[in-house]
Amino acid sequence: METEIQYREGLEQLADHYKDILQLLGEDPQREGLLKTPMRVAKAMQVLTRGYYQDPQKVLTDALFEEKYNQMVIVKDIDFFSMCEHHMLPFYGKAHVAYIPNGYITGLSKIARVVDIFSHRLQVQERMTQQIRECIQQTLKPQGVMVVLEAKHMCMQMRGVEKHNSITTTSDFCGAFNQAKTREEFMNLIKKNLD
């Protein structure tokens, strides 16, 4: 079941540009199969970039609870899809996020929403990893945060070097995760995914 989507201003103009792109590629935008394509692509791009219009810090603070728990909280296997800013081709994979609370916790689904918001922007995997970590650190002020992203990039699979099975892994951490023992515990807990 498709949810109701609110499209942003500029949708018609975006569709007009995609019509021009089709012509520049040598296609006929009046061909039956392409008549609705410019608008379909414009709508898809607005959905794929909706993260620019969402506030990840507000998502975290909307479900902030005082709690004395001070051990690692891990949300792993968070599926994400993003668009490479260099070629505007998809990259997709899984995010694994951990934080050690410092008096406050957030709803578990909010961690996944933060990943979703940053992935719905034109991105590079390295920056996205850092943005997720920084957002959680700045908003929750925990004892530490660690983020690991593993992804396949269509810009490497469909074009360029055409390496179909390569996976890129990035990580970022701060606070308590600066200790090798804490990082190792996190990596062991998500290890089944990285093997």
Question: How far apart, in Å, do the first and last CA atoms of the chain sit?
Answer: 35
- pTM for the model: 0.92
Q: How many CB atoms lie within 10 A of CB 182?
A: 19
Mean pLDDT to the nearest integer, 156-163: 79
Q: Which of 140, 106, 102, 116 is nearest to 48 (CA)?
A: 116
Q: State percent of the chain over pLDDT 90.
A: 87
Clarify whether 84 is annotated catalytic: yes
- The strand pairing partners of 171, in sequence order, are 148
Confidence band for 157, pLDDT divided at 50, 70 and 90? confident
| pLDDT confidence tier of residue 5, bands split at 50, 70 and 90 | confident
56-90 pLDDT tens trace: 999 999 999 999 999 999 999 999 999 999 999 99
Whether residue 4 lies in the annotated active site:
no
Catalytic residue among 130, 150, 155, 185: 155
Q: How far is it, in rounded angstroms, from Cα 109 to Cα 114?
A: 9
Indicate if 86 belongs to the active site: yes
Is 135 catalytic? The answer is no
Residue 17 known to be catalytic:
no
pLDDT of 195 over the 60 cut: no
pLDDT at 193: 52
Are the CB atoms for 42 and 3 separated by under 8 Å? no
